[in-house]
Amino acid sequence: MNWIHIYKKIRTVWIRFGNLLNKITSPILLGITYFLILTPIAWLYRLFNRTEEEQDSTMNERVKTYSKEDFIHPW
């Protein structure tokens, strides 16, 4: 067995170990970032950017009778 085969085995183990660490640490770091940085920023934004006339809903009631032409040319 020569050095190239030993190097390839060590490299393969090292790459697999790195991929395993990537699958474990990436979700943990992203979760920590979300809950410790983005969530408080969103709370502060909502706290300081309130309007006096907040609407209950963004849906508006339309009173219109639709005809056949409305469905033939919708835009």
Integer Cα distance of 13 and 6 in angstroms? 11
Position 49 scores a pLDDT of 83
Per-residue model confidence as pLDDT tens for the chain (75 residues): 688 899 999 999 999 999 999 999 999 999 999 999 999 999 999 888 877 666 677 787 888 888 888 888 777
* pLDDT for 10: 94
For the residues of 19-47, what is the DSSP string, one character each? HHHHHHHHHHHHHHHIIIIIHHHHHHHHH
Amino acid at 8: K
| C-beta contacts of 31-40 below 8 A and 24+ residues apart | none
Q: Could you tell me the residue ranges of all domains in the chain?
A: 1-69
